A and B are shown apart, each in its own frame.
Chain A
Amino acid sequence: MIRSNRFTPYLLVAPLIALLLFIFAYPIYKLFDFSLKRVRGFDGENIGFANFEFLFKDPVFREAIVHNLQLLLAVVPLLLVSLIIAIALYERLRGWRFYRTLVFMPYILAVPIVGVVLKNMFQFNGPINETLRNIGLPTLAQDWLGDKNIALWTVLAMVVWRESAFGIILFLSRLLALNEELIEAAQLDGANWWQRTRYIVLPQMKGVIEFYSVIGLITMTASVFAYVYIVPGKGAPANGTMVLELYIYNWAFEKHQPGIGAAASVLLFVVAATLMFILFRVR
């Protein structure tokens, strides 16, 4: 029998910790290091907190934060759309297995592919506006991607459309694992569809809904780069779809100022870490 002392568990996990440190700690250290420098190539002159001062004064940075906050609003429709469609499929509508495959299709396609297709569809003279004009609704034809006041909401709708596919499958798999006896019992007791959904189904899905909400928040905060880079194009029109990811990318790779990109990343890191800390404390 192997005798262990209190250090044994730490020794056992040490290799993995070392690997994680190697993968994550050095980049995070460099991130903080870069944020205090005017980086040229791989290093640069130390300039204190000048990069952070710049960020706090930069209107584009504020604009990017506002846009990310606006995108967070998408989490609500994302949840609702996913839930409603998942429940509808769970009710085993005629051909539900086909619909299940169909609704998951957008999620299988890579964002750039979806992006290029949607970009063409939403052009000012693209198929969507042409259809609206041809059915006598020309006033509804908008410059979905070219109007600064509309473009972000167009992107939001696209994100909801594609990302809800994952939610639908997630919710549906949970629904299919529910104890059907409870539902049948409620049915025998005379509960209607809404009552069964409200009092039997949804309470049992609380965990997966919470999980998907967190996924949605992460998506809207840190996974919309491909959408805004491809669909309207580089945060167009005129920074109308600028988000934090693109802002960081632009400074790091387009404007060759990795220091400012790193400073913005550090702020994002600090905010995310704080939120995680609060979340863990609450739970």
Chain B
Amino acid sequence: MMTKKNAAGLSRRSFLKAAGALGAGASLASALPAFARGLRQDALELSLWWWADDPAYKTWVDDTAAKYGEANAGISISTLQMDTCCVISQFTTAAAANEPPDIQFFFNGIYHMENVWLGYVEPLNDWVPAEILEQSNATSLSVYDGKQYRLGWYPVPLIWEYNKDAYDKAGLDADNPPATWDEWLAACDKLKTAGITPMGGGISDGFWGEWYLGNALTQSLDTPGDAIDLFIGDKDFRDPKYYAFWSRLEEMVSNGFMNDDMLSVDLFTAATKVTTGEIATTQVVGSVAASHIPLMGDRVGLMVMPVFGEGALAGVPITDTQGWGIPSGTEHKQEAADFLMYMQSPERQTAFWETHNFFPGNKTWDASVVTDPVLKQMYDTWVGGETSVYIPDLMPTQFWTDAMFVAAQEIIGGNMTGEQAGEQNAGIVQQWRDLNPDLVENYQKWAEGLAAAE
């Protein structure tokens, strides 16, 4: 008997066979996730999303994950290194979709606090002993409403790095860098006369401006809470005290103390110029300064930004901390907390130092192993001593893009004065307040907590 065929030449029998096979395949496929889940009950895999100032820290992250897996049968950690642009925004998206990782890297301050306010980050107090929370050095900017949301990883000192040879060439005392603003201006004159650019940087990507604000605005503040007051409107950027830091930038620009290509180069391209002496001084973070030691040896000079401000925080070394948290949406909070505590163990802290030649954040780490004079100065001044928190961690992100980024570039381009920058900043924070009344309330509560912590 002939089998009736359709236009494509497929017989009815073949069609039914194919349909049956597809149906069976689909049923099997739908059963696989359940099967896989069943398997996972015995072998738990925790996911960890992370970022670091130095991508090479991957070695330590992967090693820590591997060693934890070896020591804890049935648990493994899969790590995913993220880009600067997306490490937080992708976490927010994943958390909103209820698919966050089990362990998440967090920048300090507002960069994780916005997720705290959305309910995406778990307070650690119920999972990690208080002494470990304190020892991890996560700073007060990780605390909201009495709860701590991050454990510290490694410190991020904010430093003015200078080239001692360039200072020597200009007839300056390289071992005693300028401490006040007047001394700094006098030093700039000498450096300029010697044909060396006194202060340099690259601001096309904006981060130099953020670091400048971190170093300079802090000098007008008595407490970190003052910065929050500026953002919520209890203090005003139009007050000369609070735009003085922009005026100091304007002063350096108008005196020709800064590199002429600042607007067209980015932060790290320009920072390397201090190693060649092309620029005498620049702003860096600790890990960058440490990476210059193999190039310059003990000719790497470190200083706190010379003092011009009259706030209680003026002249106090500034240190931020990178850190880790646990997303609220993970089903494995205890396991995630156990891993975070493992990261804080003396063995892992020592491994971080030995692998990357940079300090871990934990206060209990034995810093006597630091013998390099530059690193020792960095540790003693910016980690071991009295420090201030990093004020840009308190900035609303709108202030970063619309106020800091724009004002810094306008001043360096010679298109804006410090006073005009203060006016512009005040306008942007007002705009932010109008658009975000709910965040203003959270900020107020945050400021109260910070004031209480002081």
Contact = CB atoms under 8 A, between A and B. Distances in A.
Interface stretch (A167-175, A191-199, A250-258): A250-258
A238 B409 contact: yes
B264 to A, nearest CB: 4
Nearest to A250: B401
Interface in A86-135: 119, 122-126
Most buried by B among A38, A45, A233, A250: A233
A198 B397 CA distance: 55
A234 B205 contact: yes
A36 interface: no
B97 A40 contact: no
Most buried by A among B96, B203, B261, B415: B261
Interface string A234-269: 101111000000000010011111001000000000
B265 interface: yes
A54 B435 contact: yes
Contacts of A256: 92, 114, 397
A3 to B, nearest CB: 15
Given A234-B205, A238-B405, A257-B435, 10 more contacts: A60-B402, A119-B204, A123-B265, A146-B262, A147-B413, A233-B205, A234-B405, A255-B402, A256-B397, A257-B436
3 closest residue pairs by CB, A with B? A146-B263, A124-B261, A233-B204
Contact of A41 (B96, B203, B397): B96
A148 interface: yes
Interface string B404-432: 01100110010100000000000000000
Contacts of B266: 233
Given A42-B97, A123-B261, A125-B261, A236 B438 contact: no
Nearest to B396: A255
A40 B263 contact: no
Contacts of B263: 124, 143, 145-147, 236-237
Given A232-B204, A255-B398, A146 B96 contact: no
Given A54-B435, A60-B402, A233-B206, A148 B264 contact: no
Contacts of A239: 406
A144 interface: yes
Most buried by A among B96, B262, B405, B410: B405
Most buried by A among B114, B263, B405: B263
Most buried by B among A38, A232, A253, A257: A253
B78 interface: no
Interface of B: 89, 92, 95-97, 114, 118, 120, 203-206, 260-266, 396-398, 400-402, 405-406, 409-410, 413, 415, 435-436, 438
B206 A236 contact: yes
A148 B414 CA distance: 11
A134 B400 CA distance: 39
11 contacts: A40-B438, A42-B97, A123-B264, A123-B265, A145-B263, A147-B263, A237-B409, A238-B409, A253-B89, A255-B402, A257-B398
B204 A146 contact: yes
Contact of A237 (B92, B204, B436, B438): B204
Contact of B260 (A38, A124, A144, A250): A124
A238 B266 CA distance: 14
Main secondary structure of the interface of A (DSSP, over half): loop
Contacts of B262: 146
A254 B402 CA distance: 11
Given A233-B206, A236-B204, A256-B114, A143 B401 contact: no
Contacts of A144: 264
Interface string A200-220: 000000000000000000000
Contacts of A40: 118, 438
Most buried by A among B89, B114, B118, B413: B413
Interface string A151-171: 000000000000000000000
Contacts of B405: 234, 236, 238
A269 to B, nearest CB: 22
Contacts of A123: 261, 264-265
Contacts of A238: 405-406, 409-410, 413, 415
Contacts of B264: 122-124, 126, 143-146
Contacts of A254: 397, 400-401
Contact of B401 (A38, A41, A233, A255): A255
A232 B400 CA distance: 17
A250 B398 CA distance: 9
B195 to A, nearest CB: 15
Contact of B413 (A122, A237, A260): A237
A247 to B, nearest CB: 10
Contacts of A54: 435
Nearest to B434: A54
Contacts of B409: 236-238
A276 to B, nearest CB: 31
A54 B428 CA distance: 13
B263 to A, nearest CB: 3
Contact of A148 (B261, B402, B415): B415
Most buried by A among B96, B397, B435: B435
Contacts of B114: 256
Contacts of A38: 435-436, 438
A236 B398 CA distance: 16
A260 B435 contact: yes
Contacts of A42: 96-97
Contacts of A148: 413, 415
A255 B439 CA distance: 12
Nearest to B407: A238
A234 B209 CA distance: 14
Contacts of A233: 204-206, 266
